[in-house]
Amino acid sequence: MSDNLLSNINNPTDLRLLEEALLPQVAQELRNFIIDIVSVKEGHLGASLGVVELTIALHYVFDTPNDLLIWDVGHQAYGHKILTGRRENFHTNRQLGGISGFPKRSESIYDAFGVGHSSTSISAALGMAIASNLKGDFNKQHIAVIGDASIASGMAFEGLNHAGVTDANLLVILNDNAIGIDPSVGALKKYLTAVKEGKNPRQNNMIKSLNFNYSGPIDGHDIFAVVNELKRLQKIKGPKFLHIITTKGKGLQQAEENQVKYHAPGKFDANTGEIHIKSEENLPPKYQDVFGLTLLDLAKKNEKIIGITPAMPSGSSLKFMMDAFPKRAFDVGIAEQHAVTLAAGMATQDMMVFCNIYSTFLQRGYDQLIHDVALQNLPVIFCLDRAGLVGEDGATHHGVFDLAYLRCIPNMIVHAPMNEIALQNILYTAQLGLNHPIAIRYPRGRGVIVNWQSQYLGSYEKIKIGKSICIKEGTKVAVLSNGTIGNNVTLAIAKIIHPENIAHYDFPFVKPLDENTLHFIFTKFENIITIEDSVIKGGFGSAILEFAAENNYTSKTTVLGVPDEFIEQGTVTELQQYCKIDVKSLEILFSSY
């Protein structure tokens, strides 16, 4: 073999200068490069390894960036980034000040569309293709690469439905590996499996029936077959659909064998694939596990409890209940709108429905939340995992808008527990029966109570809706915190010289607010600080300011939280520092009083 080829590929033009026979070597080098970097720096591994050949073939055949290439979600775009001028700084991937873990228009002209949430690629590519037609450019290619988990989402079908009645120069490539983050589910998966196994007659092809020129399925790891098929499709006008079969984690044995774990494995040995095990002894539980284990415990005692998640059973820990009660816990696939309205339908039949969705993904079901749940005042229990700043996934994934977008909806109860005990108690309280829907938000990462499971799980206390808690008395300043960020307040107060100056109140309920306590606070204190790990525009602090204005209180109120901008990637600690809601920033602020 010749010298390292990848080191001389700074853009797709360099790639296209190579003889086609050398592409398998490029694939091997690219795969090794991704493994070497991600093993040390962490990130999304399996998805990018699975599309190495496809990535090379796309940039080899098509005239990117003039031809427009869109990666659905973007977990799988590491190879794309490395081939498009970002090889030298790929080691900064997902780090503060580094490159984004997802395609991003402001980062590169090769990133035709910013992504991070699923199922947007077909609509975006179709929009671009129609625009090209309107501008008289009928030769430009528009390619959407979408996975079998993402294509099952309603939005993807909306795009396919429209594209099939256009003459848009659109190529949809289905990257079919039978897994998203967790294994794909549903009737569409069964259909695609039948196609792959040759058990479905070609005349039954549902994609062809939508007026697409369908080809495949072909082996997505046979780079010559992929290149040949792309060259053939390049000459065909109108909407086209290529079905390719790939293996997530291809080229790293452990990643192929354990695709869920190696989606984002953390640090691992690049040679053996063995994950570097972090000791979890004497660590508090993850909030997702507090939710999952508590729900399982409650479900054993209450047969009306139902669990629903859109494609995140492992990440949300609903898997505990799914394994124990498969008929009462549902993974509905990447379908947040369906998940919310499915929960609403069940709630009309007196079921206690826990609809567990990452905060950033509930944004995708907002109309259903308003129209199907809150308007009918159905007591669906929304459990919003990954609320607040989530870290390295960055702007597309931070769950910082939920307090603002939930607080304005009539009938909603909005709650953010400060720790594991508060979370299990609000879950317990909700399943006793509420007269309204409730949203319970909690963060990514670990809690604060090391022995929570052995000491507290199963020992429940009913919470009074709308009640705040005085954690610490004080004389000069009242700090009002919402949710787990209140633990930063506690730590900061413990570090200052005059802790007696600072009073600390936990306000878990953003709606309804504890107005009795607020009257007391505004009467007693001239200085008030609110803190939340969500946007300050319209959030918890805004609610406190509205209360003060309505009641003519004039205490000086400082609102801390996430500023009015999209926060990029970095560790949670770094991003809290940027927002000035970390322990050190609070310590400096509290010491000034």
Tens of pLDDT, residue by residue over 55-102, are 999 999 999 999 999 999 999 999 999 999 999 999 999 999 999 999
Give the model's pLDDT for residue 201.
Answer: 67
Of 405, 396, 391, 397, the C-alpha closest to 382 is 405
Q: Judge whether residue 366 has pLDDT over 70.
A: yes
The residue-averaged pLDDT of 42-49 equals 92
| Portion of the chain with pLDDT greater than 90, in percent | 87
Alpha carbons 481 and 468: distance in angstroms, whole number: 10
Asked about 86 being catalytic, the answer comes back as no
Q: Judge whether residue 265 has pLDDT over 80.
A: yes
286: DSSP letter: B
What does the pLDDT look like over 297-308, one tens digit per residue? Answer: 999 999 999 999
| Portion of the chain with pLDDT greater than 70, in percent | 99
Give the Å distances, CA to CA, from 88 to 47, 324, 455: 21, 48, 50
The residue-averaged pLDDT of 2-30 equals 94
Ranking 26-40, 263-277, 465-479, 481-495 by mean pLDDT, the lowest is 263-277
Give the model's pLDDT for residue 187.
Answer: 84
| Strands of the sheet with 381-387, listed across from one edge | 329-331, 305-309, 352-358, 381-387, 438-443, 413-415, 509-511
Q: Judge whether residue 49 has pLDDT over 60.
A: yes
Ranking 177-191, 240-254, 507-521, 575-589 by mean pLDDT, the lowest is 177-191
Among 42, 53, 336, 392, the active-site one is 336
Alpha carbons 455 and 493: distance in angstroms, whole number: 27
| Strands of the sheet with 556-562, listed across from one edge | 469-472, 502-506, 477-481, 527-535, 556-562
Largest Cα separation within the chain, whole Å, is 79
Q: Judge whether residue 533 has pLDDT over 60.
A: yes
The residue-averaged pLDDT of 250-269 equals 88
Residue 556 CB neighbours (<10 A)? 10
Q: Judge whether residue 316 has pLDDT over 70.
A: yes
Of 281, 299, 315, 279, the C-alpha closest to 451 is 281
Among 248, 407, 444, 511, the active-site one is 248
Give the model's pLDDT for residue 203.
Answer: 64
The residue-averaged pLDDT of 313-331 equals 96
What does the pLDDT look like over 391-430, one tens digit per residue? Answer: 999 999 999 999 999 999 999 999 999 999 999 999 999 9
CA–chain centroid gap for 218, Å, is: 30
Give the model's pLDDT for residue 185.
Answer: 81
Tell me what the pLDDT averaged over the chain comes to: 95
Asked about 364 being catalytic, the answer comes back as yes
pLDDT tier at 202 (50, 70, 90 boundaries)?
A: low
Of 461, 454, 480, 383, the C-alpha closest to 422 is 461
pLDDT tier at 182 (50, 70, 90 boundaries)?
A: confident
Q: Judge whether residue 527 has pLDDT over 60.
A: yes
The residue-averaged pLDDT of 453-471 equals 96
Asked about 248 being catalytic, the answer comes back as yes
Could you tell me which residues come within 8 angstroms of residue 451 by beta carbon, excluding any fewer than 6 positions away?
Answer: none
Ranking 134-138, 199-203, 222-226 by mean pLDDT, the lowest is 199-203
Of 446, 443, 487, the C-alpha closest to 280 is 446
The residue-averaged pLDDT of 454-468 equals 96
pLDDT tier at 3 (50, 70, 90 boundaries)?
A: low
Angle in degrees, 0-180, between the axes of helices 121-134 and 154-163, rounded to the nearest 10? 30
Alpha carbons 39 and 267: distance in angstroms, whole number: 5
Give the model's pLDDT for residue 281.
Answer: 79
Give the model's pLDDT for residue 1.
Answer: 42
Span between the terminal Cα atoms of the chain, in Å:
69
pLDDT tier at 194 (50, 70, 90 boundaries)?
A: confident
The pTM for the full model equals: 0.94
Among 81, 189, 364, 441, the active-site one is 364
Give the model's pLDDT for residue 305.
Answer: 98
What does the pLDDT look like over 290-299, one tens digit per residue? Answer: 999 999 999 9
The DSSP bridge partners found for residue 176 are: 245
Residue 208 CB neighbours (<10 A)? 14
Residue bearing the bigger pLDDT, 68 or 207: 68
376: DSSP letter: T
